[in-house]
């Protein structure tokens, strides 16, 4: 079993751009001709361009890449110390919004009791340490055998290479012997199915549609258990 993170194991973090970038803008505004709202709009355009890659070349990137792009657009040479501070403040701005599903731990534990390897594959520009902080905070890290973040990978979902890396991490050669669970029809369902995996959709009203048919649809994580039991019984 391999899971998406945001919108699947965690509540979808629909954070406004002001939440994400306001502290970085606050730091930079005294040194710039633009005010904080103007800076945040520019940061927002950069982040939107990053996520648009999921429907173009699917190249991955990091938070440092985003901040470097912001530096280039602003036309100023921002010192490394400022970049690091902005990254830390960005995480702190998100922290109150990151809430894992209250049924995640019990569901992961039940899947492990069935002898299944558990993996995570997240499209993200955050460094590993950011995600691990939240997973460890809520007791999920120890329940997930392999955790892959596209900020450390050449491509992000739905690129086949991202899913193949996740399969290899959990020791599965044949995609048909693995299931992916996610909330995004393009990134998660189409991406998983193109490498032969079964794909389970957990619908998210905040995510755009895509013409793909999931192998199953769930509303709550515990619904995976009877679903998996049936598939396991089929051999």
Distances in Å between the Cα of 139 and the Cα atoms of 117, 121, 134 are: 17, 18, 9
Residue 88: partners with Cβ closer than 8 Å, 6 or more residues away? none
Last residue of a domain, one of 97, 113, 131: 97
Residues 160, 194 contacting (CB under 8 angstroms): yes
For residues 114 and 220, state if they share a domain.
Answer: yes
For residues 139 and 92, state if they share a domain.
Answer: no
For residues 117 and 198, state if they share a domain.
Answer: yes
Return the pLDDT at 97. 74
For residues 205 and 121, state if they share a domain.
Answer: yes
Is the predicted pLDDT of residue 17 greater than 60, yes or no? no
- Please name the residue that has the structure tokens 């995600």: 131
Q: Name the burial class of residue 233, with classes exposed (0-12), middle (13-18) and buried (19+) by CB atoms within 10 angstroms of its CB.
A: exposed
For the chain, what is the domain count? 2
Residue 85: partners with Cβ closer than 8 Å, 6 or more residues away? 27
In this prediction, residues 21-37 reach a mean pLDDT of: 79
Instruction: With cut-offs at 50, 70 and 90, classify the pLDDT of residue 60.
Output: confident
In this prediction, residues 42-65 reach a mean pLDDT of: 80
For residues 117 and 184, state if they share a domain.
Answer: yes
Is the predicted pLDDT of residue 166 greater than 80, yes or no? yes
For residues 123 and 35, state if they share a domain.
Answer: no
Domain span at 113: 2-12+98-234
- Residue 143 belongs to domain with CATH number: 3.40.50.1000
Q: What is the mean pLDDT of the chain?
A: 86
Residues 215, 235 contacting (CB under 8 angstroms): no
Last residue of a domain, one of 97, 130, 153: 97
For residues 79 and 116, state if they share a domain.
Answer: no
For residues 154 and 229, state if they share a domain.
Answer: yes
Lowest mean pLDDT among 88-92, 99-103, 129-133, 195-199: 88-92
For residues 85 and 26, state if they share a domain.
Answer: yes
For residues 86 and 107, state if they share a domain.
Answer: no
pTM for the model stands at 0.76
Task: Output phi, psi for 6, to 5 deg.
Answer: -65, 125
Last residue of a domain, one of 77, 97, 117: 97
* Residue 121 DSSP one-character state: E
For residues 74 and 148, state if they share a domain.
Answer: no
For residues 212 and 195, state if they share a domain.
Answer: yes
Q: How confident is the model over 83-121, as pLDDT tens digits?
A: 556 666 666 766 777 889 999 999 999 999 999 999 999
């Amino acid at each position: 079993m391999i899971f998406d993170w945001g919108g699947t194991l965690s509540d979808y973090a629909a954070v406004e751009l002001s939440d994400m970038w306001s502290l970085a803008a606050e730091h930079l505004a005294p040194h710039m001709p633009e005010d904080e709202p103007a800076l945040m709009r520019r940061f927002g355009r950069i982040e939107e361009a990053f996520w648009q890659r999921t429907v173009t070349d699917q190249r991955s990137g990091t938070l440092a890449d985003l901040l470097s792009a912001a530096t280039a657009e602003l036309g100023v040479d921002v010192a490394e110390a400022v970049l690091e501070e902005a990254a830390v403040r960005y995480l702190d701005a998100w922290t109150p919004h990151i809430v894992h599903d209250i049924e995640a731990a019990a569901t992961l534990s039940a899947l492990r009791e069935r002898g299944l390897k558990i993996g995570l594959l997240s499209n993200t520009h955050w460094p590993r340490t950011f995600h691990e902080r939240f997973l460890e905070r809520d007791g999920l890290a120890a329940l997930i055998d392999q955790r892959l973040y596209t900020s450390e990978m050449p491509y992000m979902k739905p690129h086949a290479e991202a899913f193949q890396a996740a399969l290899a991490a959990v020791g599965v050669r044949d995609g048909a012997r693995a299931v992916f669970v996610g909330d995004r029809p393009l990134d998660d369902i189409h991406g998983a199915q193109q490498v032969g995996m079964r794909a389970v959709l957990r619908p998210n009203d905040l995510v755009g549609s895509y013409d793909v048919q999931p192998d199953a649809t769930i509303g709550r994580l515990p619904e995976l258990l009877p679903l998996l039991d049936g598939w396991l019984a089929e051999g």
